[in-house]
Structure 1
Amino acid sequence: MNDHYTTLYDTFGWWIPGRFSLAQACCYRWVENAADAQRIALYAVDPEGRLDTWSYDRLARTVSRLANGLTRMGIVRGDRVALVLGQRPESLAALLAVNSVGAIAVPLSCQLGPDALEQRLRHAEARLAIIDSEGGENLLRIQHRCPSLSLILAIDMINEHVMSWRTLLARQEEHFTPLPMLPSDPALLLYPQGPAAGRRPRGLLYAQVSLIGSLPGFVAAHDWFPQPGDVLWTQSDWSLGTTLLNTLLPVLYFGRSLAATAGRLTAWRLQALLDQLPLTCLSFPAAAFEHLRETWAGMEIRPAHLRNLVVTGRTPPSGLSAHCQTLFGIPANFVYQHPSEAVSLIGESASQWPSRPGSLGRAYPGHRIRLAHPDPAMAGNSSNTGTLEISRTDRYGHPDPALALGYWRDPTLTLHQPIAPWLSSEEWLHMDEAGYLWPAADNTPSVPT
């Protein structure tokens, strides 16, 4: 195939509007005319297979009602609102409503235990939490240990200590004018999970414009999304910043459709989902894809509409594209997940440049990376091994909108971060002559003696 990478990378430039917000870009602008308002925003499928369809009009009305309710509850610009919700339409409606009133959304996984939830809620000083039955019980156990958490709004839960989502929304008007936002205004406070989380919570603050920063990687990974009729489903946790910024919000930004599935997903349930919905794009964490690959060994699945599959992680599963070609009849794109930055900066795009099996891909347009070697003699070598560094600016000197504003309320971590032109990481990688990145065989930097 032809390699269009150099042309795409060299001709790309950021355009940042003077005003920008997640709520306006992903919701309200799609109801400014009647035709767009009837587009399908979300297909919600419950564990029994029942389908509930949300148009952009329904999404906007729900967001507006909740935004009015949040205002009446006293939530103001800059307040932190925790979202402990499963994979459901209300999860996105809550995030966009929080954004509409100028507050900062703090998505937290339903899989977190009580102690981990308490650490994050106290660190964020969240005033309100919006919960459902999937993760709400753990939060209710530790509410009394979170001094700032004075309000809890619950979906489909009956508890004397919470306010009912349905009751609150029933009392509100269906129109709300979102607060005007600058692209640099804070939007999301994200806490990493897994090894990157560490022993104490370190929340990264992301601006409204971080969504724009995610678009080159999203478009490329999904082979030039959007295409007519695109519907995307992901198995990734909806509360993760990587899922929000690299998958969910970009789909809504382009006015296309998401599929939401409640409950545990098995290979057989995914097969039923592929039969039930016109899914065109799938996204899996690497570990989940490996599990499905074992479950579906020897099968051939040919969904009528499927055109793209993305697998995300730190390293690509072995034989990724070959297995996807055998199983689904299409190749897969691997997208590298940086351990601290939420936005995907590196990955593949099979329709635009050749894949090299086993590699992490190349830097997506708009993002600059380099490898720094502890040996000064190796510095500046474009085909070497070293720690991954990310530039704060693109090739034209414009700020990279994908990067975090900094760590939340931790001066020891943020003091020097905004000044450094390159952000360093502990990722030890190899770069070949064509700019493809590879997991380094020796994962321990060393300096010759």
Structure 2
Amino acid sequence: MDAFEDAVYFRPNASLKVPNSTDNSPLPPLTGVYRFDYLAKLVVICAGAFCSIFSAVIFRRPVMYKNIAAAYLLSVISISDSCYLISAFVLGLERLQCGIALPNGVCQAVLYASHVLRCLCTWLIVSLAFFSYMYISREGRAQKHFRSVHCKVVLAWQGLFAGMAFLHLTWMTGVETGMCFPFFGLYFSALVVMEKIETFIVVILPDVLLCVVCSLSFYICIRRSYFKATTTRQTYIPNASEIRPFHLQEGDREEAASQQQDRSPLSGEDAIFHLKIPVAVCSLHFVLSLPQHVIQIRIIVLQLMYGDFEYSPSTEENYLHDVFHVVSLTKFAMNCIMYSLLSATFRANVKALLLPSRCWRPFTTMTNAIETPSVADESVGTRTTVLAPEADNADTQSAVEDS
């Protein structure tokens, strides 16, 4: 179900939230607590859209986009989230009946885009979880396979799948009757089946995959201590009897280097963007969406057991679903806060974007870091940032001499 989709309430067997006082439109006007619920959703959606757009701008900066392999996927997730929230906001304004009416054609396009983007956002989170798991479980080998071109291929296939899965929403809407939502009154049988398929594709399967992949990632992190900033390594010095010929020593050194690379933990910003941020974002998405998904799955299961015409969600279930829906929408704004708390590079780019350098660091230039290619792995395009604290002293000294 979409951010503002009340399709379950407009079925013939379901009781409406409020009495239908209009004869021309099947949508009842929102009053009282239900109008407040929609206004709360609009406020949360506006905050989430702003944070998603801001995160996308930060991740698309050259310093982040070119130097960090995971920044491309995070930027795509932020862009998809912002587009989905904008489409949901437009549908919410139309649902509030505040003088905004979408014309025929635009309504179908916005409704179709909201469902496609919701599916795409969900599966991009699953892709991020798999990306992080493969990166930490097969480090040294997985780095050669996860590049921006592979992320683009995955994004293209997921977008094609989401676009094909929701084609029915382009013509099963009740625009002619004044309802910019799937029209269950005319396409009841088909939409009920498609709703159950959508619940499996967008709710059940992603939640199961996220639970499994995040659990495996946490297990690997705890077992190998990937979250530690420094690790202690034991060195082995062979005695004279174990010294082998030179050509064998060369092969042994290469094998030992490859094994050490496979065992070496991620550190620094590489660990933050390929391990901590993906695990935190995926876990946050799973935890905040789980209560709403549980209620939605329970309704679907009871309808399968008793029949779509026999079971009707109670008022308490509808109210809890709305409350947990508002809670789940907060994850879009929480992502930006998570990026700022975990990554010093993200905070530095926020400062560089919002504040001119001469305002918050006098006698410095816009960039206070020298980027040099990393000697560890140049195939992914990752770079290490070497801070230059002497730059401030040099600039200050030159300013004093000029005066």
TM-score by length of 1: 0.24
Q: When the two structures are superposed, what TM-score results if normalisation uses the length of structure 2?
A: 0.26
Higher relative contact order (CA 8 A, sep 6+): 2
More strand by share: 1
Q: Which has the larger radius of gyration?
A: 2
